[in-house]
Amino acid sequence: MEGRIPQGTITCERSNQAQTATSQQRGAAPQSIYSSRMDSVVHHVTTLPAMKSLLSVTHHDYLPNEYDAVVLESDVYFQLIELKVVDGHLDTIKFILFCFDHDVQHLQEFVDNCNTAYERRMANKLGIHRYFFDQMVQSKAKGNVQNPLPASHLVYTKSKFVTNRTFDNVFFEQKQQVKHRTKFFLEHREWYDRKGIPYTLGFLYHGPPGTGKTSTIKAIANEGKRHIINIQLSEIKTKQQLQHLFFNDEIHVYNGTNLERYTIPVSERLYVIEDIDAMGDAVLKREWKKPVAAKKDDLEPFMHKEEEKDALDLSFLLNLLDGTLEANGRILIITTNFPERIDRALIRPGRIDMIVHFQKCTLAVLNEMVNSFYDKQVVLTDTNLDGKWTPAEVNQILFRNFEDPDAGIRELVELATKDLYGFQDNA
């Protein structure tokens, strides 16, 4: 940026004495930006990972507190000029927005988008908390047709999502690659725009239970400050339901009495499809599909014919993930215990960016876990430990010996699976 001259700027200033904002472009008349719009930009800036220093003051969530220029998105830059706080209250804030390759209208569009998102957030009943949204499914009870779920959209229940999982306390062989890919995605929207690459991120996780798949999902949701949207693919009856979930900011939640509607941008969601291989034939290779018996109409008298016509198929799923419509900011994680069964078209590059194999601890991962847990440098060299324990088993052993590192290390070396569980594990 050094030496380059901005093609458009917007200068925003607020103080106890005056609240003004002007924008200037080469030869352009000053523009206006209202207080709510200024608040929306400040809020947007403070939610970005690129902003490393924040200040909390009375009547504000947070304020930016660093003076270097920060890239907000493609060719939109923010720089704090002045920040003054008196007795815990904001007295003065001044900052500029600028761009090099566009005119000032580019900045105005950015501000308008910030304001729309900010107004939506202020009206959102979820507040600052994150939630786990679990898809409701229709009762399988024979003849139960009361209160059928809608065919146009999915219905969810919600629970507050709280976790202490981060990339600092999950352990698996490909952790650094997953961490780097995730952080790059969250912090470099402008790179995707510049390269013409859809701004989406997709992972396929596979491996046995206890190897860290769910913990890593929590860490990514925590890192990205995202709500988790759990998808039961086999229970989705129509294409319209899934299309609504991926390309609409609305989500419908059953609170035990009635339906509520919340607004959650796709860029604030983490979509999760767990055990996708168990969710129907649409995603499987041909040799793994179950033979389909002919249906008799009298066996399912309450079958919705329209839903049957609009049922999910592989072609629709492929188009959903990288078709004409783009879901900017989308993160999708798919897990499976049998990756070899998944149709290769579903997980090719462009739909899935990274395939991650979770497995029992290598010697390097085991050393990392022990050193992290006990906060001391330990070097285990016994090659028999390579692939002996899952991360969940290591945590169990270390935790029951949290005051005695030597005992914990001894159990890792000497204990057998049957001694840990009380029975022989043949997995």
CA-based Rg of the chain, rounded to a whole angstrom? Answer: 26
| Residue ending a domain, choose from 123, 152, 183 | 123
The model's pLDDT over 343-372, given as tens digits with 9 standing for 90+, comes to 888 888 888 999 999 999 999 999 999 999
Domain enclosing residue 75, as ranges: 8-123
Q: Tell me the pLDDT band of 29, cut-offs 50, 70 and 90.
A: very low
The model's pLDDT over 71-85, given as tens digits with 9 standing for 90+, comes to 998 899 999 999 998
The model's pLDDT over 319-329, given as tens digits with 9 standing for 90+, comes to 988 888 889 99
Do residues 22 and 30 lie in contact, with contact meaning Cβ atoms separated by under 8 Å? yes
Q: Which one-letter DSSP state was computed for residue 31?
A: B
| Residue ending a domain, choose from 123, 148, 181 | 123
| Dihedral Cα 249, 229, 395, 339, nearest 10 deg | -120
CA-nearest of 385, 373, 389, 374 to 421 is 389
| Same domain? 154 vs 254 | yes
| Same domain? 308 vs 345 | yes
| Same domain? 44 vs 13 | yes
Q: Which residue has the higher pLDDT, 36 or 290?
A: 36
Q: Tell me the pLDDT band of 279, cut-offs 50, 70 and 90.
A: low
| Same domain? 189 vs 338 | yes
| Residue ending a domain, choose from 325, 342, 357 | 357
User: Among 43-57, 168-182, 236-250, 402-416, whose mean pLDDT is lowest?
Assistant: 43-57
> Considering the chain, what percentage of its residues have pLDDT values greater than 90?
56
Q: Mean pLDDT over residues 381-400, rounded?
A: 96
In a domain, 426, yes or no: no
Mean pLDDT of the chain: 85
| Measured distance CA(203)–CA(192) in Å, rounded | 17
The model's pLDDT over 164-207, given as tens digits with 9 standing for 90+, comes to 999 999 999 999 999 999 999 999 998 999 999 999 999 999 99
User: How many structural domains is the chain composed of?
Assistant: 3
Do residues 81 and 95 lie in contact, with contact meaning Cβ atoms separated by under 8 Å? yes
| Measured distance CA(96)–CA(44) in Å, rounded | 14
> What CATH number does the domain containing 291 carry?
3.40.50.300
The three-class DSSP label of residue 424 is coil
- 158 has pLDDT over 90: yes
| Same domain? 230 vs 154 | yes
| Same domain? 389 vs 337 | no
User: Among 116-130, 190-204, 296-310, whose mean pLDDT is lowest?
Assistant: 296-310
| Same domain? 197 vs 178 | yes
- 140 has pLDDT over 50: yes
| Same domain? 242 vs 312 | yes
Helices (H) and strands (E) in the chain, counts: 12, 16
- pLDDT reported for residue 284: 59
Q: What is the 3-state secondary structure (H, E, C) of 307-348?
A: HHHCCCCHHHHHHHHHCCCCCCCEEEEEEECCHHHECHHHHC
- pLDDT reported for residue 152: 87
What φ, ψ does residue 376 adopt, rounded to 5°?
A: -150, 155
- pLDDT reported for residue 30: 37
Q: Tell me the pLDDT band of 232, cut-offs 50, 70 and 90.
A: very high
| Measured distance CA(81)–CA(107) in Å, rounded | 18
- pLDDT reported for residue 348: 86
Q: Which residue has the higher pLDDT, 5 or 142?
A: 5
CA-nearest of 171, 70, 111 to 398 is 171
Q: Quote the pTM value.
A: 0.72
Q: Which residue has the higher pLDDT, 81 or 293?
A: 81
Q: Which residue is it, tokens 């049922």?
A: 311
- pLDDT reported for residue 64: 93
Using alpha carbons, list the distances in angstroms from residue 52 to 17, 94, 220: 29, 18, 18
- pLDDT reported for residue 299: 44
Q: Tell me the pLDDT band of 25, cut-offs 50, 70 and 90.
A: very low
Q: Which residue has the higher pLDDT, 19 or 287?
A: 287
Q: Mean pLDDT over residues 83-102, rounded?
A: 91
Q: Tell me the pLDDT band of 298, cut-offs 50, 70 and 90.
A: very low
In a domain, 383, yes or no: yes
Structure tokens at 240: 């319209």
Report helix, strand and coil shares of the chain as percent, to nearest 5. 35, 20, 40
In a domain, 427, yes or no: no
Q: Which residue has the higher pLDDT, 80 or 140?
A: 80
| Same domain? 195 vs 317 | yes
CA-nearest of 186, 143, 170, 141 to 372 is 170
| Same domain? 106 vs 218 | no
Q: Which residue has the higher pLDDT, 15 or 84?
A: 84
